Amino acid sequence: MFGKNLFGKNKNVTDNTTNKLELKDIVCGMTVTDKSEHHINLQSHDYYFCSSSCHDKFKTDPEQYVSPPDSSKNVQLKDPVCGMNITADSNFHLHHDNQEYYFCSQGCEDKFQSAPDEYVNLDDAAGHSVKK
């Protein structure tokens, strides 16, 4: 069964082998289940999180995650090192091969800078996807 939340950001998939609903943490993009202890109900929609950190970030400013972006700074990007969802206003970014790359932390920026070819997916037209 597939579905989307009110804002079209979370895909829900039922795993028939465990009978758990698999969801995406709207803050970081990690896969979680409906059994997660980190949970919020907002406007009659349930949101599940991988950790208390993501839960608390969402609780502090839910509009950042559920409202449509109103500027290019709020567009959701992926950290090419860890895959976390981030925005273009991140303090961690660098320019490589005529592209801007954004990171969730100094650690991910440093990893990328030391070996960028390990993280750049050359098949992606934008050059910003996580290498699989």
Q: Which 8-state DSSP code applies to residue 60?
A: H
pLDDT band at residue 124 using 50, 70 and 90 as cut-offs: very low
Q: What residues contact 126, with CB distance under 8 A and at least 6 apart?
A: 99
Which has more confidence, 17 or 51? 51
Is 27:58 a contact under the CB 8 Å cutoff?
yes
The number of distinct structural domains making up the chain is 2
In a domain? residue 123: no
Supply the pLDDT for residue 83.
87
Q: Strand locations in the chain, DSSP E?
A: 13-15, 20-24, 31-33, 38-42, 45-49, 76-78, 85-87, 92-96, 99-103
* Contact (CB, 8 A) for 66 and 7: yes
Higher local confidence (pLDDT), 68 or 40: 40
Same domain, 80 and 58: no
pLDDT of the residue at 71: 52
Average pLDDT over residues 92-113: 88
Q: Of 29, 47, 66, which one is at a domain's C-terminal end? A: 66
Is residue 126 one of the residues assigned to a domain? no
The residue segments making up the domain with residue 82 are 72-118
**In which band, very low, low, confident or very high, does the pLDDT at 52 lie, cut at 50, 70 and 90?**
very high
Q: Cα(54)–Cα(26) distance, rounded to whole angstroms? A: 8
Tell me if 113 is assigned to some domain: yes
Nearest to 109 by CA among 79, 78, 73, 77: 79
Q: Cβ–Cβ contacts within 10 Å for residue 95, how many? A: 8
